[in-house]
Structure 1
């Protein structure tokens, strides 16, 4: 993660990217459609008709997909533990507190 960023939005974006890199190892949006159909083929997802629209289909987890999801959640816990090891529990706690605080409605700001 770069420390060149000076503003919070960029820092938050870089932090998110750090987690995404660890979780997705470079999966791009262009492959998302193929990935969904691959996951359907593997039995992790299923397509069902959308009751609200005859033209749309819903994508849902299968029982096996739920098991894999739980394993992914466990992986996230490991990554978070590694972050605690790297920057310390008080900084991770402060980060979590800051990100879960009620920031209110985004302000409407005009440039000076």
Structure 2
């Protein structure tokens, strides 16, 4: 694909390894307004950028076979969701910022999420 992209349309199936003469005809066609390529390229760059930022700021804390989902983000934010059938102990925290249900003391009930400050 890289070798054929700078070829002229009439020489796309030429067997020579290096295109002669070089042409930007294919690039002009793809980048022409109305093809949607520019929008798709921008979308890809945004998704890659956001994924990179989130990956660098979120830390996954759950064990792969655990029924409790837990991740943290600095400075001082954690989210814990209990998908198990039994209440689980809350991790160490300074205060609870938000819950999706009522806590049972320092235990997180089944099917409940909590956002504690660290």
Instruction: State the TM-score, normalizing by the size of structure 2.
Output: 0.27
Instruction: State the TM-score, normalizing by the size of structure 1.
Output: 0.28
In our comparison, the structure showing a higher alpha carbon Rg is: 2
Q: When you count strand as a share of all residues, which structure comes out higher?
A: 2
